[in-house]
Structure 1
Amino acid sequence: MSDDFSQEQFMYCFPGRNASCVMEQFSFRTSFALYLVFVSGILVTILGNSLVIVSICHFKQLHSPTNVLILSLALVDLLVAVIVMPFSATRTVHGCWFYGDTFCQLHLSFELFLTTLSIFHLICIAVDRHQAICNPLHYSRKITISVAVMMVCVSWVLAAVYAYGVIYSKANMAGLEDISESFCLGSCFVYFNPLWGMLSSAFCFFFPCTVMVYLYTQIFVVAKQHVRKIGDKNNCLNGRGRGGLIKHSESKAAKTLSIVLGVFIFCWMPFFMQFIIDPLTGFHIDPYLLEALYWLSYLNSACNPIIYALFYPSFKKCFHCIITLKIFSSNSSTMNLSVK
């Protein structure tokens, strides 16, 4: 009788169906707090990336190869907030996927596609910044708007082929037929066998991370050499007056690069590490931890407009014009965005 009583304490995602997942039973306050956090994160992501998109599209001074990449990245992160995050929020709060197997597969493919695409854009931006700092004399010839558009198109196609190919071919589930039968009804997560777990982590994180670390390290070294040469010339002409300014420039460059790499690694490394560890441990990862890793990766979509836009003073001026509705004034698209 005690066993029957203990079973009655559980609510199931699909009552009356065999192997149904157990529904989360948070209190009203906890559920409300979780929804408040998720909705706030979604709105911040939508608002931040929308401001970036409107700024680049409206203000002609921002029409540059770098901003073509930032525009596409903002669109990707906006789609993550609109298409992926709301459905993941209901799954997290209730512990159930209520939208059916077909939409689950579509959701997972969109999720994998957009998150992979976001990472590919970060590589493109790193390449663009590397050329601008390390090869400034040839930058305008090598990196044009057409080249930036081509980089964007290649990123979209490559990410789509990978994500939809893996999910719909079920290559990631090869060899997991016996284990998949133990997955409860009402769960909607992407699972990888050991081979595809390692391949996906290498393709989507470790390779991009290595490329970004290499490029940003070179950028930092070259930028430091540049400011040192400028500092030496200024010291010869003006004494030591420029020393503090040079140190400030070096410090700012180091801070910017450390934030770019730090946020990227912080948001993505735990997520892709579980792609490798979970298959090797029999998929026993705690569901709460798994949900936390998903939302940690979504956080990068909220951080990207801050990292890649707010560091540029011209974007701050654009945001101010949009928020204060000055964007609707005549000739606002041709206004000077230079900050004195």
Structure 2
Amino acid sequence: MQFSNTTGNDLKWNFCQSENYLCVLLYIFLSLLTAVTICGNLLVIISIIYFKQLHTPTNYLILSLAVADLLIGALMFPFNMAFSVTTCLYQNTTTCKIRNALDVTISSSSVLNLCCISIDRYYAVCHPLMYNTKLTDHVSMMMGLGSWAVSVLYGICFFVMKYYYNLCRIECFFLSGVISILAFYVPTIILLCVYSKILLVALKQVSSLRNATSQSGPVASKKERKATKTMAIVMGLYLICWLPIFISYPFYTLSNIVAALVEPFNWFALSNSMFNPFIYAFFYQWFRSAFRMVISGKIFQGNFTNTNLH
């Protein structure tokens, strides 16, 4: 995410000011990144929608996250490829404002969907007897839609403020700081708190299973603990990729060095959207089976919606 700044044009993150092979290699690499991100997340979306075995509350939230990752690949990657040459960091055009508003919206959606998934995992591991009544399909869908509604609101507010107000350096600093806090730091703190609680409960359950005589209270299944571990990895990877941009982002108007790093940090953050499908395929047999059937085109040869994906 970037804010416009009319100064500092000499710090544009690009080496494509003239035709050279580095520019060609950059665009080939970014094009491949775009294709992998789009195809991978399409596999997740098609698999969850098509196969009834994957119609679970957790997977509906994963579906919402995959939609956000797909939009990053389909919209933000092309936008960033176009504007990394003449970076929006130093321009105030309407197109740049739309690009930045989309950036705010989609990236906010990703972290808010992760928050929803953490709540799902909390009930699955910490309160397994309540899980089926608290986290129904309907509740899961409403949580995903709510994440998108809040994210769209963030994006609209950002666009309106940038479109109607000519912000100075100090105002940009405070606005970017507020956006960073609301869109990243607050959800991240929630994620860390929830997963810390889940980890403590999971460790206690493992200890209880090793000593059956001391076992007390309901224990989450091995399947639920594995799902929690997988989503914790997804969350950890998200934090690693997005932390640099959100740390540097409020300070780019105050430091030329930080401003020069914003664009590559933004690409590093967006590349996170490529990894999640590979994580699901690595940890889940049913996702691997679903991916194979989709890639091979088998789902177009008959009705396989009720297929057992083990």
Query: TM class, shorter-chain normalised?
Result: 0.7 to 0.9
2:48 corresponds to 1:65: no
8 Å Cα contact 1:172-1:193 kept in structure 2: no
Give the residue type in structure 1 aligned to 2:51: F
2:81 corresponds to 1:89: yes
Deviations 1:23-45 (A, max 9, x none): 84355220111011101111111
8 Å Cα contact 1:197-1:275 kept in structure 2: yes
2:270 aligned to which of 298, 304, 316: 298
Q: Distance in 2 between the 1:151 and 1:253 partners?
A: 19
Q: Distance in 1 between the 2:144 and 2:154 partners?
A: 16
Q: Distance in 2 between the 1:20 and 1:175 partners?
A: 17
Higher relative contact order (CA 8 A, sep 6+): 2
RMSD: 3.2
8 Å Cα contact 1:113-1:160 kept in structure 2: yes
Q: Distance in 2 between the 1:130 and 1:300 partners?
A: 24
1:225 aligned to which of 204, 208, 218: 204
SS of equivalent to 2:263: helix
SS of equivalent to 1:334: coil
2:299 corresponds to 1:320: no
Q: Distance in 2 between the 1:151 and 1:96 partners?
A: 35
1:267 aligned to which of 228, 241, 254: 241
Shift in Å, 1:254: 9.4
Task: Give runs of aligned pairs for residues 36-75 of structure 1, distance below 5 A.
Answer: 36-75=28-67
**What residue in structure 2 maps to residue 332 of structure 1?**
304
Give the residue type in structure 1 aligned to 2:86: G
Shift in Å, 1:315: 0.7
TM-score by length of 2: 0.83
Q: Distance in 2 between the 1:175 and 1:79 partners?
A: 28
Q: Distance in 1 between the 2:228 and 2:146 partners?
A: 30
8 Å Cα contact 1:173-1:192 kept in structure 2: no
Relative to structure 1, the CA distance from residue 299 to residue 264 in structure 2 (aligned partners, 3 Å threshold; closer, same or farther) is same
2:111 aligned to which of 104, 119, 129: 119
Shift in Å, 1:209: 1.1
Q: Distance in 2 between the 1:100 and 1:275 partners?
A: 17
Q: Distance in 2 between the 1:331 and 1:31 partners?
A: 46
Q: Distance in 1 between the 2:197 and 2:228 partners?
A: 12
8 Å Cα contact 1:268-1:296 kept in structure 2: yes
Give the residue type in structure 2 aligned to 1:264: Y
8 Å Cα contact 1:166-1:172 kept in structure 2: no
8 Å Cα contact 2:114-2:235 kept in structure 1: no
Task: Give runs of aligned pairs for residues 105-184 of structure 1, distance below 5 A.
Answer: 105-170=97-162, 175-176=167-168
Q: Distance in 2 between the 1:140 and 1:252 partners?
A: 18
Q: Distance in 2 between the 1:329 and 1:337 partners?
A: 17
Deviations 1:279-324 (A, max 9, x none): 4x2x524554221111011012112333456422211110111122
Q: Which has the larger radius of gyration?
A: 1
Shift in Å, 1:169: 2.4
Q: Distance in 1 between the 2:38 and 2:31 partners?
A: 10
Give the residue type in structure 2 aligned to 1:233: A
Deviations 1:121-147 (A, max 9, x none): 111111111111111101000011111
**What residue in structure 2 maps to residue 239 of structure 1?**
none
Give the residue type in structure 2 aligned to 1:318: A
Identical positions, percent: 33
8 Å Cα contact 2:45-2:67 kept in structure 1: yes
8 Å Cα contact 1:66-1:128 kept in structure 2: yes
Q: Distance in 2 between the 1:286 and 1:122 partners?
A: 28
8 Å Cα contact 1:173-1:193 kept in structure 2: no
Give the residue type in structure 2 aligned to 1:141: T
Deviations 1:59-105 (A, max 9, x none): 0111111111111111111111111111211222x3356x9922222
Unaligned runs of 5+ in 2: 1-7, 214-221
Shift in Å, 1:161: 1.0
Give the residue type in structure 2 aligned to 1:228: S
